[in-house]
Amino acid sequence: MALLDSIGSPRDLRGLSPEQLDELAAEVRDLMIRTVATNSGHLGPNLGVVELTLAIHRVFDSPHDRVVFDTGHQSYVHKLVTGRHADFATLRKEGGVSGYPSQSESEHDIVENSHASTSLSYADGLAKAYAIRGEDRHVVAVIGDGALTGGMAWEALNNIAIAKDSRLVIVVNDNERSYTPTIGGLATALTSLRTNPRYEQVLDLVKKRLNAVPGVGHAAYDALHAVKKGMKDALAPQGLFEDLGLKYVGPVDGHDRAAMEQVLANAKRFNGPVIVHAITRKGQGYDPALRHEADQFHAPGPFDVQTGAEKPKGKIWTDHFSEAIVDLGARREDVVALTAAMMHPVGLDVFASRFPERTFDVGIAEQHAVTSAAGLAMGGLHPVFAVYATFLNRAFDQVLMDVALHRCGVTFVLDRSGVTGDDGASHNGMWDMSVLQVVPGLRLAAPRDVTRLRELLDEAVQVDDAPTVVRFPKGPPPEDVPAVDRVGGADVLVREGEQDVLVVAVGSMCTTAVDVAARLTAQGIGVTVVDPRWVKPVDPAIIELARQHRLVVSVEDNGRVGGCGATLLQALNDAGVRTPFRLHGIPQEFLDHAKRDAILARIGLDAQTIARDVVESVTALDQGPTLVEVDHTA
C-alpha cells in the first residue's frame, strides 16, 4: 500500500520516520504530476512546496491551528494530506476537487479566495480573534514572494507588526531564488535565539542595566545592538521586516523538511508574529518543470509525463490579442503596455520583447497599475492595461476616481471575461460589465470574434479623453461571424422573416445567438440578431430597433444584475419603448468549477434553453398582451 493511502489527516504525518517522509514526498510529487498532466492545473508552485507543507502540518495542528494559503496555487499538497488524495483524480472536474482551497471540501480549508495578497489580512483578523477569545490557537499564513508585491500585503504587515499578542506565523515562500539560503551552525543558533521568548526578555534586561550606567550606558547598548543587528543582516535579509517591528527567521531551505520543521517549531514558541523566510524552487523534483524557462510549469495544459511536452493546442483569444497589440505598438509609438505580474498569461510577453522601454510589469498591484496608467495618459501616452477580468474588481476605485474622473485615455483589456470554468468561482469574469456600467464616460466593447477584437482595440486606443474597455473570454475564439448590415454602430448578424424577435447579443454570446436565430427561424419566428460591438453606452439605433420588434431578448455572459441587459432595459424604459423584454445572463451566484460549456448549459445560457424560452415568450404574446419581463430562471 502506498504511504499516501495511510494519511487520512495531518496528524498521521507525525508517526512517520524521516525515510518514510521522503518516500511520501516522492509519492505526492508523482501523483500531482500525473494528475495535472491529464487535468491541467497549477503544477510548478505545488511541486515547490511539498516539504514545506509537510513541515507545516507536522508542527501545527490543523484544523485547530488555521493554515491560510495566499491565492491557493500551492494548496494541492495540503489537500493530499488532509484526506482528499482518494479523489484527487477529479481535480478541476465538475463535482470534483477544486483547484483552490474550498470550505465545502474540508474543515482544513478556511480561505478559498484565489485573489493574491489577501492571506495576511485574513490571518491578522483570525489571530486577533483567537487572542481576544483567549483561544490557544496559531495561524499560519503561506504567502509567495510574488504576492508580497501587492500593496494589501504590506498594509497587513503594517498592522501585524503592532499586534504583539497575535500567534501568527507568516511563511514567505520565496521561489525566485532571490537569496542564497543561509546554512551552518551559527545561522541555526541565531534562528533559535531570535525566536526564543527569553531572547527578548534578556535584551530588555540588558537594555535596562546598561542604560542605568551613567554617561556610557546608552552608547554601550546602542553599540551592542548595532553589532547584533549587523551580524544578523550579514547572514539574512531580514532588515526590511525587522524595521517594521516583525521577528524574522531565515532564510531557510524550503526543501529541507527537517530544517523547516525546526524553524517552524521555534517560530511557534515565540508569542508574537514571526516571519519565516523559506527558499523554494517552482517545479522542484520534476526536471521538465525546472527546465521550463517561462514559468516552471506554473499552470500547464495537458502534457506528456515522461517528456513534459505540452500537447498541441490551437490559438486562444489571448494569442490574437498578443499579435494585435504588437501591431498596434509598431504603428503608434505612444502606446505603452502594463501588466500586474501576468506578462505571459495576458499575452504581453511579445510586446515586451519588442518594446521593452514601453512595457511595465508592476507586480501584483492592480490599484497602482490603474493609477500609474492615468499618469502615463496625463503625460501624453496611451496606456493599455491587460488584466484578467476578475482582477480588475480590485481596482474599481482607481478606474472610477483616478482615470474616469480625470478623463484619461486608458484602455483596459480584460482577458478571461465571462464564465472561465475550471478555476472556479473566484476566476469567473462575470462582474466587469456590471461594475463598469456605473463609471461615467467609460466606453466598453465586447468583440464577438478575432476580426472584431482587432477592430475594437484599434478604436479603443483612439479615444484619448475617457477610459475604454475591450473584453474577451478564455479559450479559442469562434470562426468569424460576418455582419449582414450595420445599424448605427451595431452589426446586424441575422435578419430573417418578420420583425418578431430582436436578439441583442454581447461579445462571445453572438455565436450562441446566431444558433438561437436558426432554431427560431425553423419554427417560423422572424428574428433579427444584433451585436452592439460597443455595449456602453447604449447605441440609440438599438433602441429604435427594439421599438420595431414584438420582443427584445438580451444575451450576455455577465451577471444579470446591472449588466448590459439591465442597462438596455433601463434605456428602453427612458425612451418610452414598451416592447416586452427577456434578459438572459449569469445568475448572481458563485459558480462551482466545471468546463465553460457545462456551466453555460447549467445556468441556461446555451442555445437550446434560450430558444425554448423565446418560443414560449412569443407564444404568450400571440395569446395576449404581457408586461416587460426579466428572466429569473435561466
DSSP 8-state assignment for residue 533:
S
What phi and psi, each to the nearest 5 degrees, are found at residue 190?
A: -65, -40
DSSP 8-state assignment for residue 278:
E
| Chain Cα centroid distance, residue 474 | 14
Catalytic residue among 394, 416, 443, 560: 394
On whether the CB atoms of residues 403 and 373 are closer than 8 A, the answer is yes
Catalytic residue among 282, 358, 474, 582: 282
Catalytic residue among 27, 51, 112, 366: 366
Whether 366 is catalytic: yes
Residue 517, annotated as binding a ligand: no
Residue 41, annotated as binding a ligand: no
Residue 366, annotated as binding a ligand: yes
Rounded (10°) angle between helices 510-522 and 607-623: 50
DSSP per-residue letters across 201-244: HHHHHHHHHHHTSTTTHHHHHHHHHHHHHHHHHHH---HHHHHT
DSSP per-residue letters across 548-592: HSSEEEEEEEEESTTSHHHHHHHHHHHTT----EEEEEE-SSPPP
Tell me the residue type at 478.
Answer: P
On whether the CB atoms of residues 116 and 146 are closer than 8 A, the answer is yes
On whether the CB atoms of residues 321 and 386 are closer than 8 A, the answer is yes
DSSP per-residue letters across 408-451: ---EEEEES-B---TT-GGG-B-SHHHHGGGSTT-EEE--SSHH
What 3-state class would DSSP assign to 39?
A: helix
C-alpha span between 121 and 111 (Å, rounded): 11
Whether 394 is catalytic: yes
Specify the length of the chain in residues.
634
Tell me the residue type at 614.
Answer: V
Q: Which residues contact 351 (CB under 8 A, 6 or more apart)?
A: 322, 325, 326, 329, 337, 358, 359
Residue 393, annotated as binding a ligand: no
Residue 115, annotated as binding a ligand: yes
Residue 314, annotated as binding a ligand: no
- Taking alpha carbons only, the member of 552, 481, 542, 473 closest to residue 511 is 481
Residue 388, annotated as binding a ligand: no
- Taking alpha carbons only, the member of 84, 154, 73 closest to residue 120 is 154
- Grid cell locating 117: 495578497
C-alpha span between 159 and 155 (Å, rounded): 7
On whether the CB atoms of residues 66 and 137 are closer than 8 A, the answer is yes
Residue 145, annotated as binding a ligand: yes
**Residue set of the binding site for thiamine diphosphate:** 73, 114-116, 146-147, 175, 286, 366
Which residues are documented as binding site for Mg(2+)? 145, 175
Catalytic residues: 282, 366, 394
Question: Binding site: which residues?
Answer: 73, 114-116, 145-147, 175, 286, 366
